[in-house]
Amino acid sequence: MKKHVFDFLRVLCASAVILFLLTVPEIVFSFINPKLSVCGNFDKLGAVFLLAIALSLVENKTFIKWFLIVFGVFQLVQFNSMAYFGVYLTPYAIDFIFLETGDIITEIKDVWYKYLYIFALVGVPYWLLWRLISRGVLNRVTFKYGWILPMLYIAAFFYRASTPNGIFQMLFKQTCFASYNTINSFSAYLGNVLPKKIIGHTQEKIYPDYKLTNIEKDKNAPVNVIFVVGESVNANHLSLFGYDRPTTPELEAYAARNPRFVYKKAWAAGVNTLIALPMLYNIQVNPKNYRKLIKRDSYLLKMAQDNGFKVTYIESQNPSLFKKTSISHYDKAFVYSSKNGTELNGENGFLDMAFNGIDLNDGRNFVIVHKRNIHSPYNDNYMYETGKYEIFKDARFDERVNEYDNAVRYEDMLLMKILKFAESSKHKTYLFYLSDHGEALGENGVWGHGHLSPEDLEIPFMFAMFNGTDDDFTNRLRGKDRPCAHDVALWVAEKLGWKVDVTGEDLNVCQVNGRDTMGRAGVLKIIKKSDGTTDFKLEK
């Protein structure tokens, strides 16, 4: 019995050392680029620890040596991507690297030496790990066929990549542990993306590049652009749009006294947050043109910085989502955590804290606010102020509808807070509001989001302007019937000083992406006809 306990402790100790040395590169890189620092995502850390346990049990040292060499090469690709692009590696970024090798070499030919430290960052701890194992310094428990365990570990990732739901979870979803990202991304690439390209299941269409024209006349002129991205907002549950429950009384009063306030229904970019946000921020019109998400050649945050804007990103949901959406090119970020909820009484107090850290009177500002409300569970959003926002309790309604409508009432207050924040500047300020996706609430028996159906995709759009006028622009927005999400992204780009020409696409057609970043889970084309009616065409 004592021997078994002792062996178990030996396994744990050896595995802990292996885990530490495997993850030293990302720990050190956290100090080089804090935006890509490790965090408390313990399920992913646990997954890497399982790999460490598997390696600790391998008797064959030659197997371990080659495993570390191959994994080390993959890690070099990962950390070079993090250092150069400022984002974690994704499966399709790997594909992009192979396809665009010539362009990448051209881009880095004058700065390549700045990334030589990556070889030491990965090479030194991995070499040290090999020395500890090869010289028997680690007091390991090993098995003759222990090499099977790391192979089974990798095989599990390959199997996951072969399933529709698994590959959806693996694509474009990074975490704050680079080692896990490396395993995840290369497994998805080698186990799904590359085989399909080789056997011909994927015939990729090449989409023409957008044409970006810088139309900014004065990069020093003070101006603010605020882009608010709502969460799960169903336009048909806002009394501002005619809903029979008084869910948005403050917005209605605001609209009555501000004739320049523009509000109308719009169509979402995608069916969930992780699909819609990248599409909005990259002005991705066609869901199948996934290279927009890799090249980021029409990325709103970068375009803003190029024209002298200070970029502030406010993530009101959680650090994990902030990482998964690969936000880059920002100067300051405020990210909500569960600790904020307790200390600040939810999103209301969090927005107060974030807004207090932004000076809209200081030069040029581009502020993106990604909201938490009205994410499910709906009543969690206003749980710190239930006495004030538990208004709708009619038993004739489904309890989910009552809770959702209460959360809309909470959203009404939050949006007024944001409008007042925008109004506080003495400089010209543009404010755009659009939900990331909608939320079905029993229409045609459909609930929640993730569905490529109209009841899940009708979202609100709002526009307000302060401390100045721009009548031509405002009238253009007012005259647009049911804008697409890409229309709003293009309007934001325009106020950041850019004219974006999207070639090869009919901008009058809204293309809504299903539950896959490449558009492989279906695309709903919403075609607005000249007689005012709308056609819906689902493409697989």
Peptide bond into 374 cis (omega under 30): yes
Better pLDDT: 371 or 518: 371
Amino acid occupying residue 52: A
Asked if residues 271 and 437 have their Cβ atoms less than 8 Å apart, the reply is yes
Q: Are 170 and 89 in contact (CB under 8 A)?
A: no
3-state secondary structure of 514: coil
Q: Could you report the per-residue pLDDT of 339-357, keeping only the tens digit for each?
A: 777 789 899 999 999 999 9
Q: Are strands 447-448 and 440-441 parallel, antiparallel or unpaired?
A: antiparallel
pLDDT tens-digit series, residues 474-531: 999 999 999 999 999 999 999 999 999 999 999 999 999 986 555 656 789 999 887 7
Consecutive H or E run containing 525: strand 523-528
Give the bridge partners for 511, in sequence order. 525
Give the angle 101-276-322 at the CA atoms, nearest 5°.
75
| 390 vs 307, higher pLDDT | 307
Q: What pLDDT shows up at residue 88?
A: 80
500 backbone dihedrals φ, ψ, rounded to 5°: -115, 115
DSSP track, 279-348: HHHTT--STT-THHHHH-TT-HHHHHHHTTPEEEEEE-S-HHHHHHTT--S-SEEEE--HHHHHHHTTHH
pLDDT at 104 (0 to 100): 63
Task: Give the pair of three-digit tokens for residue 15.
Answer: 């595995």
In order of their start, the domains of the chain are: 2-199 (no CATH), 211-539 (3.40.720.10)
pTM higher than 0.85:
no
Give the CA distances from residue 130 to residues 64, 123, 126, 127, in Å, rounded to whole numbers and listed in that order.
8, 10, 6, 5
Q: In 3-state terms, what secondary structure has residue 240? A: helix
Which pLDDT score is estimated for 50?
A: 96
Under DSSP, is residue 512 helix (H, G, I), strand (E, B) or coil? strand
The continuous run of DSSP H or E covering 145 comes out as none
pLDDT for position 517 = 59
Spatial CA neighbour of 362 closest among 315, 316, 312: 312
Copy the structure tokens of residue 278. 């990248």
Nearest CA among 23, 16, 46, 2 for reference residue 139: 16
Mean residue pLDDT of the chain comes to 90
